[in-house]
């Protein structure tokens, strides 16, 4: 009843360009109610709005990035002086919209966890996708409490939005011993999830930066001890993708801790058709550069300011 009214109101508003006043009279409710109906229609995914990039947008930032790394880039316009938190919110909104736009029946969506992905999850409008699954890409349990429920809620919120089957990955972010990982990887319960991960059609992840203003989750939630942090610095690690650490040049294979990490390596990721990387914040630029050089992404969603920083660093002219 209510949903049907929302549908009727949305049709009249968006498809027939009627004012809410007129719609209110037709439906026999107050204008305020119509406003709320239309809002709920948007939030419930009854209304979908997409914006397509005009083909001939010439020399702008997005196209430069796309050309350099051979990826599709979505640059989110933001005001110059906008705070990083504000920008994160903007980018997350756009990412959430694009994601629902890219959803296809039977899709397997792989999601990592972190501040960025969590922000995206807050902006997802419900978009039922027949036969879809959502799978957690990397383990989240840590010595500190809360990692599992945190990641669990995150996956659940994606699964709810797409009406998908959720697959959790109940392993720690890092094993203490590489042998344990090897052992667990032989367990059928784990293998089942790994198998789903290999069939991911659309992977979604952010990048972690070791030195960030809004510090990335991994480096602050008790996942790593002091010795490990020191080792990262010694290894010239600048950040991570799916809790696999990277250097700015994109190398990662010889970083010891990665043998104990549970997320897919850049090499694993590259097997997947579509890999969407979302990044906000100048501090993430070195890590992002490493990620792009490791070719982890096919799509990049980034705010204008960070994008500019990235291009600057590429040219070698690092700004203060």
Partner DNA sequence: AACCATCGTGCACAGATGTGCACGCCAGGG
Partner DNA sequence: CCCTGGCGTGCACATCTGTGCACGATGGTT
Kindly list the residues in this chain that would bind a copy of itself in the complex (CB under 8 A). 3-4, 6-8, 10-12, 14-17, 22, 25-27, 41, 45-54, 56-58, 60, 76-79, 90, 93-94, 97
d(CA 252, CA 228): 16
Q: What are phi and psi of 267, to 5 degrees?
A: -60, -45
d(CA 68, CA 63): 9
φ/ψ region of 222 (left if φ > 0, alpha if ψ in -120 to 50, else beta) reads left
Name the one range near DNA by CB under 7 A: 33-41, 96-104, 158-166, 181-189. Answer: 33-41
Q: Is the separation of the CB atoms in 165 and 142 below 8 Å? A: no
Q: Of the candidates 2, 81, 188, 315, which one interacts with DNA according to CB under 7 A?
A: 2
30 binds DNA per the rule CB under 7 A = yes
Which of 32, 233 has the CB closer to DNA?
Answer: 32
81 binds, among DNA, a copy of itself, none (CB under 5 to 8 A by kind): none
Angle between helix axes 304-314 and 61-69 (nearest 10 degrees) is 50
| Residues pairing with 166 in the sheet | 134
Which of 20, 111 has the CB closer to DNA?
Answer: 20
How far from each other are the two terminal CA atoms of the chain, in whole angstroms? 58
Strands 202-205 and 108-111: parallel
Which of 86, 313 has the CB closer to a copy of itself?
Answer: 86
Q: Is the separation of the CB atoms in 112 and 205 below 8 Å? A: yes
Minimum Å distance from CB 238 to a copy of itself?
29
47 binds DNA per the rule CB under 7 A = no
Q: How many residues does the chain have?
A: 320
25 binds, among a copy of itself, DNA, none (CB under 5 to 8 A by kind): a copy of itself
19 binds, among a copy of itself, DNA, none (CB under 5 to 8 A by kind): DNA
Minimum Å distance from CB 153 to DNA?
20
Which of 25, 160 has the CB closer to DNA?
Answer: 25
36 binds, among a copy of itself, DNA, none (CB under 5 to 8 A by kind): DNA
12 binds DNA per the rule CB under 7 A = no
d(CA 313, CA 146): 36
Q: Which residues of 60-76 are buried (b: 16+ CB within 10 A; e: fewer)?
A: eebebbbeebebbbbbb
Q: Of the candidates 39, 63, 72, 160, which one interacts with DNA according to CB under 7 A?
A: 39
Minimum Å distance from CB 25 to DNA?
11
Q: Which two tokens stand for residue 263?
A: 């997320």
Which whole-number Å values give the CA distances from 278 to 12, 17, 30, 88, 221, in the listed order? Answer: 35, 34, 41, 10, 21
Minimum Å distance from CB 48 to a copy of itself?
5
31 binds DNA per the rule CB under 7 A = yes
33 binds DNA per the rule CB under 7 A = yes
Q: Which two tokens stand for residue 140?
A: 């989240």
77 binds, among a copy of itself, DNA, none (CB under 5 to 8 A by kind): a copy of itself
Which of 93, 156 has the CB closer to a copy of itself?
Answer: 93
Minimum Å distance from CB 24 to DNA?
7
Angle between helix axes 20-27 and 31-43 (nearest 10 degrees) is 100
Q: Is the separation of the CB atoms in 198 and 231 below 8 Å? A: no
Q: Of the candidates 3, 19, 191, 230, which one interacts with DNA according to CB under 7 A?
A: 19
* Helix, strand, or coil (residue 16): coil
Binding site for DNA (CB under 7 A): 2, 13, 19-21, 29-33, 35-36, 38-39
């Amino acid at each position: 009843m209510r949903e049907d009214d929302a549908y009727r109101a949305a049709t009249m508003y968006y498809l027939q360009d009627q004012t809410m006043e007129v719609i209110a009279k037709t439906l026999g409710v107050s204008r305020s109610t119509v406003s709320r109906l239309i809002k709920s229609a948007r939030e419930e995914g009854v209304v979908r709005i997409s914006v397509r990039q005009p083909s001939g947008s010439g020399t702008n930032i997005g196209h430069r990035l796309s050309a350099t790394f051979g990826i599709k880039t979505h640059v989110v316009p933001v005001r110059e002086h906008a705070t990083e938190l504000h920008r994160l919110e903007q980018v997350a909104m756009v990412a959430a919209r694009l994601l629902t736009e890219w959803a296809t029946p039977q899709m397997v969506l792989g999601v990592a966890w972190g501040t960025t992905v969590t922000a995206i999850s807050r902006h997802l409008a419900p978009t039922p996708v027949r036969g879809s699954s959502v799978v957690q890409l990397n383990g989240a349990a840590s010595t500190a409490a809360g990692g599992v429920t945190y990641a669990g809620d995150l996956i659940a919120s994606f699964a709810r939005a797409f009406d998908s089957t959720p697959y959790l990955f109940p392993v720690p972010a890092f094993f203490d011993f590489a042998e344990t990982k090897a052992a667990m990887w032989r367990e059928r319960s784990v293998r089942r999830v790994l198998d789903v991960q290999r069939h991911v059609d659309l992977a979604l992840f952010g990048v972690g930066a070791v030195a960030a203003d809004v510090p990335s989750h991994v480096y602050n939630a008790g996942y790593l001890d002091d010795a490990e942090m020191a080792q990262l610095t010694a290894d010239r690690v600048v950040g991570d993708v799916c809790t696999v650490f990277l250097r700015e040049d994109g190398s990662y294979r010889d970083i010891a801790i990665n043998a104990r990490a549970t997320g897919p390596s850049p090499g694993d990721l590259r097997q997947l058709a579509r890999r969407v990387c979302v990044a906000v914040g100048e501090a993430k630029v070195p890590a992002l550069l490493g990620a792009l050089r490791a070719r982890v992404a096919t799509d990049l969603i980034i705010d204008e300011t960070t994008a500019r920083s990235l291009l600057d660093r590429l040219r070698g002219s690092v700004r203060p």
